[in-house]
Chain A
Amino acid sequence: MSLKIKALTKSIWVFHLAASPCNNCDIEILDLLTPRFDIERFGIQLVGSVRHADAILVTGSMNRKARQRLKRVIAQAAKPCFVIAIGNCACSMEMFGKSYNQMECLDNVSEVHAYIAGCPPKPEAMIQGVVALIQAQLAALKK
């Protein structure tokens, strides 16, 4: 069975964590659930609690107030759990890096398994990113 099909057959539950984003990444994530993209057909579903999540989608550049909570939420997740940085903000803090209210990049707070760049990334890019992550993980397992 090809890895892609394997990936499609597994249902990934994702938890969406907004760490002071501008909303747009978040809207595009929600857009994935609506009729045009409808990722539920792949079994990918947004869940309400981080304890049910297989992957955490982090958006935003994380200000001081958000950072504490982000750390706590990631610590609460059942391991193993993937952390996916969605959008330029989460990947590299974009233009907010120099602000007085930002401290550090997401990489310093937790291990990040995939970066999906774009401002905001297109829904197609997000789907592709998740698929790429699964393939990379499965390939790593095989070795």
Chain B
Amino acid sequence: MTPVNRTQIIPIGPYHPLQEEPEFFKLHVDGEKVVKLEIEIGYNHRGIEKLAEGLTYDQVPFLVERVCGICSTSHPFACVNAIEDVGGFDIPDRAKYIRTFIGELERIHSHLLWLGLAGHFLGYNTVWMWAWKYREPVLDCFELITGNRNHYAMFKPGGVRRDIEDEDIPTAMRIVAGLERPLLMFAKIAMADPVLQARLKNVGILTYQDCVELGALGPTSRASGVPWDVRKDHPYAAYDMVEWDVVTTENGDVFDKVIVRVLEMLESVKICKQCLEKLREVKDGIDANYKEIPPGEGIGHHEAPRGEVFHYVRSDGSNRPVRYKIRAPSFMNVPTNNRAVVGYTVSDATITLAAIDPCYCCTERTIVVDADNGKQLMGWKELLRLSQEKTRKLMERYKSRMDRVWI
């Protein structure tokens, strides 16, 4: 008798995510256990690299800003770094501080967004609402400084487009400093909550070795103890002019990824404060006003909230790039799911796929299909229910200890 293939396939995605870019995950499951994962992307391809070749250097930052709405500073940041690298341009210190400030503020908003959605997937909707509540002041700060809640359009080759006025600094400072308390609260909640511990500890482990082999970036690798961070390794803007530390943890599980992100936000608050202080003194203009981009090649990095963004630009001396290339961090991080998801249960898959902060809301369309007859067994709702039920069960088990957790 031939052995019966008991593996079933769960397609997650591809299209119409709850919020982020569509990707398609095919989970092969044997009972509760995930045995294999296939990933397909391409549902969001808009031909941005090609479009960039038809735009002038002044327009390109606006285009790459729209690569991703959550990292809407990271791409222009890397883009202007690349363009400035072509000519070896330097920019005024004030512009550097403004860039750094915007970049770090964005990290806070992005990590809070992730934290909230991670909470949602675990059935902790309170975390979702709270994290997003504390995210609103950050957006207000952006609106104050740049005029828009998202897509700030602050960057231009050679400097920044808008100055931060002196009278805005106290408000910005108040908002940034006001974030410290909720962030510490989140850190304490994560540390003290037994359910979160049971749910996230030792789930979706990526080892140091995995990260190095697959080239994982950002918090995904830093949670496994790989201290890669372009802000330190290859400083740009004002990152070498302010005091801050790279946050790493050792275990590489989902829990550590939460901790790394929360601690990183606290570092970002530190950087933002220093930048604002400096902006009171450093007043050497915000734009170097470069007119010509010479022929040549340039590369630009930025440590986006999800990892290193890399841009490459080739110029022939005209006002448009001849070739433009972008590599986003999720491109490196998504394959790590292959190691992190396989071997764990289906109910852990949602949060593990979420842990690298990719486009995980694709799970919205998850259906479990019987591989033999293609019958639908389980929808996204069921998967979410499974995940939330597990949390509830754990809550029962830890009830006696839960009562004592009050922050």
Contact = CB atoms under 8 A, between A and B. Distances in A.
B15 interface: yes
Nearest to B72: A24
Given A23-B70, A95-B66, 8 more contacts: A23-B68, A24-B69, A26-B20, A34-B133, A48-B380, A69-B15, A98-B51, A120-B69
Interface in B26-58: 42-48, 50-51, 54
The 10 closest A-B pairs by CB, nearest first: A24-B69, A23-B69, A34-B132, A99-B47, A26-B19, A35-B133, A22-B69, A20-B44, A101-B47, A22-B66
Nearest to A24: B69
Contacts of B83: none
Interface in A15-39: 16-18, 20-31, 34-36
B245 interface: no
B390 interface: no
Interface in A66-82: 66, 69, 73
Contacts of A34: 116, 128-129, 132-133, 136
Given A23-B69, A27-B150, A31-B132, A96 B46 contact: yes
B69 A65 contact: no
A52 to B, nearest CB: 12
Contact of A65 (B18, B43, B70, B132): B43
Contacts of A73: 16
B312 interface: no
A48 to B, nearest CB: 6
Instruction: Determine which residue in B69, B70, B381 has the highest number of CB atoms from chain A within 10 A of its CB, and name it.
Output: B69
B62 interface: yes
Contact of A24 (B63, B70, B116, B380): B70
Contacts of B341: none
B152 to A, nearest CB: 11
Nearest to A93: B46
B150 A95 contact: no
A26 to B, nearest CB: 4
Contacts of A48: 364, 380-381
Interface residues of A, number: 36
A66 B43 contact: yes
B72 to A, nearest CB: 7
A66 B13 CA distance: 12
B43 A23 contact: no
B19 A27 contact: yes
Contacts of B132: 30-31, 34-35
A120 B152 CA distance: 11
B20 to A, nearest CB: 5
Nearest to B67: A22
A23 B20 contact: yes
A21 B21 CA distance: 7
B380 A18 contact: no
B129 A16 contact: no
Given A25-B69, A27-B70, A34-B133, A20 B43 contact: yes
Contact of A63 (B44, B51, B129): B44
22 contacts: A17-B16, A18-B16, A18-B19, A21-B44, A22-B67, A23-B20, A24-B70, A24-B150, A26-B19, A28-B150, A34-B129, A35-B129, A36-B133, A63-B46, A65-B15, A69-B16, A94-B66, A95-B51, A95-B62, A96-B47, A100-B47, A120-B151
A99 B50 contact: yes
Nearest to A64: B45
A23 B19 contact: yes
B149 interface: yes
Interface in A42-76: 48, 61, 63, 65-66, 69, 73
A102 interface: yes
B15 A23 contact: no
Contacts of B16: 16-18, 69, 73
